[in-house]
Amino acid sequence: MKKEHYRFSLVLSRVLIYILLAILLVITLVPVWLLIVNATRSTLQIQQGISFLPSTFILSNYKILLSKGLDLPRGFLNSFTIAAATTLLTVYFSMLTAYGIVAYEFKGKKFLYNFILVLVMIPMQLSIIGFYHYMVKIGLDDNYLSLILPSIASAASVFFCKQYLEGVMIQDLIDAGRIDGASELGIFHRIMFPLAAPGAFTLGIFTFVAAWNNFFNAFILITSRDKYTMPMLVQTLRGDVYRHEYGAIYLGLAASVVPIIIIYFLFSRYIVNGISMGAVKE
Amino acid sequence: MNRPHLKKEYYGYLFVAPFIIGFLLFGLYPVVHTLGLSFTDTTLMKAESNFIGLKNFQRLFADKTFSTAITNTWELWLMNFIPQIGISMLLALWFTNTRLKIKGGGIWRMLFYMPNLMMPASIAALFFSLFSFYGPVNQFLVRADLQAQAIDYIRSPAMMRGLVVFIQWWMWYGQTTILLMAAITSVSPALYEAALIDGAGTGQIFRYVTLPLIKPVMVFILVTSLVGGMQMFDIPMLLTDGRGSPANSILTNNIMMYMRFRSSQGHIGAASSIGVMVFIMTTVVALLIFYLLREKHDGKEIKA
């Protein structure tokens, strides 16, 4: 009797949980799906009602965006350039720093590592005004370098790389490299980096997405219209020029979001596993 | 563990040198420079600037907008964080429960996480469109007779605050779930078995086994969420007119800082003082949480 009761309550709670999960899934996906669908519908269709099926107006929506002077390919290229350069610098220099901490003993190493840990918890972005003023003084305002160069020193990324390197480092391989006469930097490039490639790739995806989505810094540092990044173009869609051109607005928004969704579906395994890599020690 | 690389100390410095130089140039100096600017009346419009001591800070504390911004930021963060950690904890416990055997755990959490990667600027603009007067939400509710007529949500302070909270929750609950799941699964099954043999119930196991062991991850989630939350910008900025409207209801610290920066004179001295205050407040609270909730049982640490 007690066992029956137990089985019944287990099935009941399972059913309830699946219902709740389904509701959460709808809440999570509907806004995104509406965004993508509306990007393919005409403004008239959008005003007539909601639809979950795509339509055929994607090109005419694009033409409206172009006619209003919104250069989507340009913004796309700008954002891609910044995100790619940021990713390369972050991954390379974070691995380099983490390798220095993991592979060598030196005075101040413990302090440096603890300092990096504290840096992760400090809102460095709040110094953006001083950063802007400083970039103006050295002539780097309205220049992508001001967005890209700071990624040489990314505390959270170094932390991630250190956790990862500790798991994959093989001291014997490093020693073998030394016996073969490889330089210390050569060992890092030819032995450690390939070993750490999956971690580097995971970090790379996160860095790319964060740089692609970054609005605040670009919004403060970049002023020329032709240097606008995707989120800055998105922000102009709120303006009066596009009033009531709903199809075109949704298309502009979708263009900033869809590439990331594609990256996510291609590499979700790396991404989902990478989220907890820095935080949970296995 | 007697590694033969002690002589190579010099290389250690070489490898970390780019980080240190990069940090000094692009991390530390901007902070010091912001602090310096906050004591001046520097604007973007005139060349000379004067040292004015604590005037910027005095003005800031006398300014009711500043206390509104601080209160808003805290409220908007807390109202999203509490349900976020609650729902995520529930999901993580369900997904990791071996008796419930929820199917497709990997796919659920993958889809729940998706909003986190999407551009916040676009998400804000999307929700603005969805909730606009002629937008899909009004269309749906009026047609389904759930609403007598279209409501101007964008002009309602309560609605806009609720929406900012909802969007933040929507973007972050998936990530929190994944972190909590990783933490829960890293707890040794032997500990659960021991607790079960001792006759502990589900609630007791959660309270006395799971919760203490996942505390470091909870602290990580709390601190990173707080640091991010105190700098909330994109969503409230682009959800309405970029000034925290209606009635300053979603005006956050960073929106106020941005408004000072982009004011007609470009008061970057005053803007810096906002950055400095929020920097100090966030850092102190973050480090305090980290210090208070740190692992205290030195030596007796249970390793999974």
- Spatial distance between the Cα atoms of B28 and A158, rounded to a whole number of angstroms: 17
Residue of A37, A104, A173 to mutate, interface with B, max B Cβ within 10 Å: A104
Judgement on whether residues A60 and A83 belong to the same structural domain of the protein:
no
Instruction: Determine whether the interchain pair B282/A123 forms a contact, defined as Cβ–Cβ distance below 8 Å.
Output: yes
A and B: number of Cβ contacts within 8 A: 291
Judgement on whether residues A122 and A180 belong to the same structural domain of the protein:
yes
Domain that holds residue A95: 70-236
User: Residue A2's pLDDT is what?
Assistant: 61
Residue of A125, A127, A134 to mutate, interface with B, max B Cβ within 10 Å: A127
- Spatial distance between the Cα atoms of B274 and B121, rounded to a whole number of angstroms: 23
Of B5, B19, B275, the CB nearest to A153: B19
Of residues B304 and B70, more confidence is placed in: B70
Per the CB < 8 A criterion, the answer to whether B199 and B143 are in contact is: no
Residues of B in contact with A80 (CB under 8 A): none
Judgement on whether residues A120 and A92 belong to the same structural domain of the protein:
yes
Cis peptide before B246, with omega less than 30 degrees from 0? yes
Mean pLDDT of chain B: 90
Closest among B293, B227, B288, B23 to A121, alpha carbons compared: B227
- Spatial distance between the Cα atoms of B285 and B290, rounded to a whole number of angstroms: 9
Please report which residue ranges of chain B form alpha helices under DSSP H: 9-23, 29-37, 55-62, 64-96, 105-113, 120-130, 136-143, 157-185, 189-197, 202-205, 211-213, 215-230, 234-239, 253-261, 268-292
**pLDDT category, B6, cuts 50, 70, 90?**
very low
Domain presence at residue A147: yes
Of A46, A99, A153, the CB nearest to B26: A153
Instruction: Determine whether the interchain pair B94/A17 forms a contact, defined as Cβ–Cβ distance below 8 Å.
Output: yes
Per-residue pLDDT of A85-122, as tens digits, reads 999 999 999 999 999 999 998 999 999 999 999 998 89
How many other CB atoms are there within 10 angstroms of residue B201's CB atom? 10
Record the tokens describing residue B105, joined without a space: 């755990």
Domain presence at residue A84: yes
- Spatial distance between the Cα atoms of B81 and B96, rounded to a whole number of angstroms: 22
Closest among A10, A5, A63 to A248, alpha carbons compared: A63
Domain presence at residue A221: yes
User: Residue A170's pLDDT is what?
Assistant: 86
Please, what's the b/e burial string for A219-243 (b: 16 or more CB within 10 A of its CB; e: otherwise)?
Answer: bbbbeeeebbbbbbbbbbbbeeebe
- Spatial distance between the Cα atoms of B298 and B292, rounded to a whole number of angstroms: 14
Domain presence at residue A255: no
Question: Rounded to a whole number, what is the distance in Å from the CA of B245 to chain A's nearest CA?
Answer: 14
Given A32, A49, A64, which residue is the final one in a domain?
A: A64
**pLDDT category, B2, cuts 50, 70, 90?**
very low
User: Residue A8's pLDDT is what?
Assistant: 84
Of B33, B123, B217, the CB nearest to A279: B217
Per-residue pLDDT of A175-215, as tens digits, reads 899 898 888 999 999 999 999 999 999 999 999 999 999 99
Judgement on whether residues A103 and A200 belong to the same structural domain of the protein:
yes
**pLDDT category, A76, cuts 50, 70, 90?**
very high
Record the tokens describing residue A278, joined without a space: 């820095």
**pLDDT category, A69, cuts 50, 70, 90?**
confident
Q: State how far Cα B299 lies from the chain centre.
A: 32
Residues of B in contact with A257 (CB under 8 A): 118-119, 122-123
Flag whether residue B133 sits within 8 Å of chain A, measured between CB atoms: no
Judgement on whether residues A104 and A16 belong to the same structural domain of the protein:
no
User: What domains can be seen in chain B, in order of their start residue?
Assistant: 64-118+164-292 (1.10.3720.10)
Judgement on whether residues A128 and A40 belong to the same structural domain of the protein:
no
Judgement on whether residues A13 and A118 belong to the same structural domain of the protein:
no
Flag whether residue A188 sits within 8 Å of chain B, measured between CB atoms: yes
Mean pLDDT of A46-52: 85
Judgement on whether residues A24 and A159 belong to the same structural domain of the protein:
no
Judgement on whether residues A104 and A9 belong to the same structural domain of the protein:
no
Judgement on whether residues A44 and A102 belong to the same structural domain of the protein:
no
Domain presence at residue A281: no
Of residues B31 and B134, more confidence is placed in: B31
Contacts (Cβ under 8 Å, ≥6 apart) of A218: A82, A147, A229, A231, A232
Judgement on whether residues A19 and A53 belong to the same structural domain of the protein:
yes
Backbone angles phi, psi at B40, to 5 degrees: -125, 170
Flag whether residue A1 sits within 8 Å of chain B, measured between CB atoms: no
Judgement on whether residues A54 and A83 belong to the same structural domain of the protein:
no
**pLDDT category, B297, cuts 50, 70, 90?**
low
Per the CB < 8 A criterion, the answer to whether A99 and A191 are in contact is: no
Q: Residue A112's domain is classified under what CATH number?
A: 1.10.3720.10
Domain presence at residue A267: no
What is the tally of structural domains in chain A? 2
- Spatial distance between the Cα atoms of B235 and B121, rounded to a whole number of angstroms: 6
Residues of B in contact with A260 (CB under 8 A): 117-119
Flag whether residue A131 sits within 8 Å of chain B, measured between CB atoms: yes
Record the tokens describing residue B84, joined without a space: 């976020």
CA atoms within 13 A on the CB side of A177: 17
pLDDT reading at B58 higher than 90? yes
Mean pLDDT of B191-209: 88
Question: Rounded to a whole number, what is the distance in Å from the CA of B112 to chain A's nearest CA?
Answer: 6
Domain presence at residue A248: no
% pLDDT > 70, chain B: 94
Please report which residue ranges of chain A form alpha helices under DSSP H: 2-39, 43-48, 58-67, 72-103, 109-120, 128-137, 145-148, 155-168, 171-179, 184-187, 193-195, 197-213, 216-221, 230-236, 246-275
Domain presence at residue A211: yes
Mean pLDDT of B71-89: 97
